[in-house]
Amino acid sequence: MEDTSGQVSSTDDSTVGKINPLSEDDMLGIEPLELHFPFELNKQMSCALQLTNGTNFYIAFNVQNMSPLLYCIQPNKGTLPPRSKCSVDITLQPQGKAPQYMQRTNEFIVRSTKVNDGFPVEDITVNMTSEEAHNVVDEVNLDVVFDAQLQKVLQSHSGQHLSNQLSDELRE
């Protein structure tokens, strides 16, 4: 079978004739599309993102932070073999104040493209997964929502003691 670069790659005979849950133009299944973070002042907050390759091809991915907030993404890029999954941990670094908006759109972009088996992770670049490249690129925007508990606390409290009150109320 030929891939998009014209290279011949082998297929797994166990998948021949099975129904593909993704449409032909989908590269990766991504869950969730809306990341929820419980918020506490001055604490790291994490969320897991599940990437699923339901195709018969190797797929390179690149997760980009488009936000002014500081996030750590592990792994931020990689290659998924056919019919495999990968968990990506996204961690918001400690914040000294509450975010201005409780829901933020397009915080992250997940780009993916077909590659050959053995494609080195270090060769995955933003340019490779951009639409300017000659590859077919799938691009998915992810939104972020901070725990609604924070909004309730912010509306009912103000002043210097907000940090202590926020921590106490979020533990309830």
Is residue 42 situated within a structural domain?
Answer: yes
The band of 3, judged by pLDDT with boundaries at 50, 70 and 90, is: very low
pTM of the model: 0.69
Rounded-to-integer distance, Cα 91 and Cα 72, Å: 5
CATH of the domain at 54: 2.60.40.10
Q: Is pLDDT larger for residue 157 or for residue 29? A: 29
Which residues contact residue 76 at a Cβ distance below 8 angstroms, ignoring those fewer than 6 apart?
62, 63, 64, 88
Is residue 38 situated within a structural domain?
Answer: yes
Q: What pLDDT score was predicted for residue 4?
A: 38
User: Does position 145 have pLDDT exceeding 50, yes or no?
Assistant: yes
Q: What pLDDT score was predicted for residue 100?
A: 79
Is residue 56 situated within a structural domain?
Answer: yes
Q: Is pLDDT larger for residue 12 or for residue 96? A: 96
User: Does position 82 have pLDDT exceeding 70, yes or no?
Assistant: yes
Is residue 96 situated within a structural domain?
Answer: yes
Mean pLDDT, rounded, for 84-113 = 90
Give the strand order in the sheet containing 138-146: 34-37, 138-146, 103-115, 58-65, 77-80
**Whose CA is closest to 4, among 112, 76, 99, 103?**
112
Phi, psi of 126 (to 5 degrees): -60, -40
User: Does position 5 have pLDDT exceeding 50, yes or no?
Assistant: no
Question: Is there a contact between 76 and 63 (Cβ–Cβ < 8 Å)?
Answer: yes
Peptide bond into 68 cis (omega under 30): no
Give the mean pLDDT of the chain: 75
User: Does position 75 have pLDDT exceeding 50, yes or no?
Assistant: yes
Is residue 7 situated within a structural domain?
Answer: no
67 lies in which domain range? 13-147
Is residue 155 situated within a structural domain?
Answer: no
Is residue 49 situated within a structural domain?
Answer: yes
Using a pLDDT cut of 90, give the percent of the chain over it. Answer: 39
Is residue 166 situated within a structural domain?
Answer: no
Using a pLDDT cut of 70, give the percent of the chain over it. Answer: 66
Q: Is pLDDT larger for residue 127 or for residue 81? A: 81
**Whose CA is closest to 108, among 45, 57, 64, 145?**
64
Mean pLDDT, rounded, for 101-107 = 83
User: Does position 18 have pLDDT exceeding 90, yes or no?
Assistant: no
Query: Domain count of the chain?
Result: 1
The band of 2, judged by pLDDT with boundaries at 50, 70 and 90, is: very low
